[in-house]
């Protein structure tokens, strides 16, 4: 009997690649996105069902979860919807701050909470959330993005203890750089004139073509999601991408404070 995965943020990048990978492996895929009517290709893939979902709208979450479970049991929930917010903290509007936390953190919590009763009653199921190397290390001018991703890592680790007692697994996939439109459509930039020159340095580092060459494709990260969904390991965090693995190893080897200074040196000299 084929298994079913429910995916948020399926329109592009990692979410889309994951939907296609699982469908190709014979899974039933419930791919959610804010505007399914605009999706011309994913809905034509065998085993894929599209549902509308904006994770910042609790009423849509309830409807999507209800519709998904009406199709049959869901085995894996992949909380992938999210975006980046960069720029000086002083330059952020309150709307930008709230939107980042609402999407990257509260959306994951609400979707998870809506599925827990079904998983608990069956005594099985896996929750996977896309976090980031930015949930295990930090860079300048991404403070609120880091807040959302570090919160997800901590929440997931704690919840794994809790739900593990009823047969449910909680995991995270923490990618490094992904060759997607994250720096375009998926990245919101805040501005403040007092930090303009510093921001130029940040953008120069991230825009370095040599750095971009180390990034993974969405398809490569999707393979890690599949591993997390199927390996039966008692493991919470899955680093994804050679750049993420190298950076986290560097942090562990150097120690927290020494690593922080190394990051500062990389960006500011």
- Catalytic residue positions? 145
Residue 129: beta bridge partners? 79, 172
Cα pseudo-dihedral 77, 188, 101, 195, rounded to 10: 140
Mark residue 9 as left, alpha or beta (left: phi above 0; alpha: psi -120 to 50; beta: remaining).
left
- CA torsion 18→22→23→29, rounded to 10°? -80
Cα distances (angstroms) measured from residue 89 to each of 127, 144, 177, 201, 224: 31, 8, 22, 16, 32
Q: Where are the alpha helices (DSSP H) in the chain?
A: 13-24, 58-70, 94-101, 107-122, 143-164, 196-206, 209-212, 218-230, 242-254, 256-268
Contact 69, 44 (CB under 8 A): no
User: Based on the number of CB atoms within 10 Å of its own CB, is 25 exposed (0-12), middle (13-18) or buried (19 or more)?
Assistant: middle
Sheet with 76-79: strands ordered across: 48-52, 28-33, 4-7, 76-79, 126-130, 169-175, 237-240
């Amino acid at each position: 009997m084929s298994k079913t995965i429910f995916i948020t943020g399926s329109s592009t990048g990692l979410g889309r690649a994951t939907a296609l990978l699982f469908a190709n492996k014979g899974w039933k895929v419930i791919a959610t996105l804010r505007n399914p009517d605009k999706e011309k290709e994913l809905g034509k893939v065998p085993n894929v069902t599209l549902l509308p979902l904006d994770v910042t709208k609790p009423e849509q979450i309830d409807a999507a979860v209800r519709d998904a479970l009406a199709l049959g049991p869901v085995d894996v929930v992949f909380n992938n919807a999210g975006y980046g917010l960069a720029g000086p903290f002083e330059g952020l509007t309150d709307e930008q701050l709230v939107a980042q936390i609402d999407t990257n953190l509260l959306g994951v919590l609400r979707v998870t909470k809506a599925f827990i009763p079904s998983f608990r009653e069956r005594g099985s199921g896996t929750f996977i959330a896309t976090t980031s190397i930015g949930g295990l290390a930090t860079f300048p001018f991404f403070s609120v993005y880091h807040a959302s991703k570090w919160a997800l890592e901590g929440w997931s680790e704690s919840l794994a203890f809790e739900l593990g007692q009823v047969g449910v697994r909680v995991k995270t996939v923490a990618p490094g750089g992904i060759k997607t439109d994250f720096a375009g459509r998926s990245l919101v930039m805040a501005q403040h004139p007092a930090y303009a020159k510093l921001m130029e340095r940040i953008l120069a580092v991230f825009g370095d073509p040599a750095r971009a060459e180390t990034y993974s494709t969405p398809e490569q990260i999707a393979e890690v999601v599949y591993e997390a969904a199927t390996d039966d390991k008692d493991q919470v965090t899955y680093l994804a991408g050679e750049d993420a693995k190298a950076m986290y190893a560097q942090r562990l080897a150097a120690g927290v404070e020494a690593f922080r200074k190394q990051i500062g040196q990389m960006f500011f000299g």
